[in-house]
Amino acid sequence: MRDSIFKLVQCWEWGAQHFDRVLKLFAGMILFSLMLITCVDVLGRYLFSSPLVGSVELTELLLGSLIFATLPLITWRKEHISVDLTDSIIPTAIKKVRDSIFNILVGISLFTIGFKIWDLATRSQRYDEVSEYLEIPIYYFTYFLAISCWLTAITSIVLVVTQAFNKQYDNQG
């Protein structure tokens, strides 16, 4: 029994490590695309008096995707903005309980938000909703937002489990 649990944990860690790399690569590609769109748009405006058509629309869609693509990474690394005014006077055991409760609430909230966003994506697909200028189907991005919320929720719940076993990974803050 113990060996099977150990193998399950190893598989989980291996998958999480590769998924971490994939999300970083995806976020890097989005960031590079944003940079490229901005450069082409600025050069087009000032050198040719012709801006890149739909650059604002692409920037909006890619920026939203970048934020949601990095949300699971930020959660895993515990890099959210936090105010720790009372952390120096609260005992460590209470901080662990507080953090676990917080992560559980975040996980439940993001699962709920993910389902709501998924419903919006389904409705967007049903109505064939597209962006204003480039006519890009919006539901692709909306489905991605929902999936990202669910991945972040799972990450929050996994943080509760790893904290319960006092497990700390190299890529966590």
pLDDT digits (tens, 9 = 90+) for 27-62: 999 999 999 999 999 999 999 888 989 999 999 999
| pLDDT 10s digits, 89-139 | 889 888 889 889 999 999 999 999 999 999 999 999 999 999 988 999 999
Q: Evaluate if residue 67 carries a pLDDT over 80.
A: yes
E strand or H helix that includes residue 34: helix 2-48
Residue 67 located in a structural domain: yes
Kindly give the residue spans of alpha helices, DSSP state H, lying in 49-138: 55-76, 92-126
> Which residue has better confidence, 9 or 51?
51
**What integer pLDDT is reported at residue 171 of this predicted model?**
66
Residue 8 has, within 13 A of its CA and on its CB side, a CA count of 5
Q: Evaluate if residue 168 carries a pLDDT over 80.
A: no
Residue 26 located in a structural domain: yes
**What integer pLDDT is reported at residue 69 of this predicted model?**
93
Q: Would you tell me how many other CB atoms lie within 10 Å of the CB of residue 18?
A: 10
**What integer pLDDT is reported at residue 173 of this predicted model?**
61
Residue 170 located in a structural domain: no
Residue 98 located in a structural domain: yes
Residue 172 located in a structural domain: no
Residue 169 located in a structural domain: no
Q: Would you tell me how many other CB atoms lie within 10 Å of the CB of residue 148?
A: 21
Residue 7 located in a structural domain: yes
Domain limits for position 46: 2-81+89-164
Quote the number of domains for the chain.
1
Range with the poorest average pLDDT among 49-53, 78-82, 150-154: 78-82
Total-model pTM: 0.86
Residue 158 located in a structural domain: yes
Q: Evaluate if residue 2 carries a pLDDT over 70.
A: no
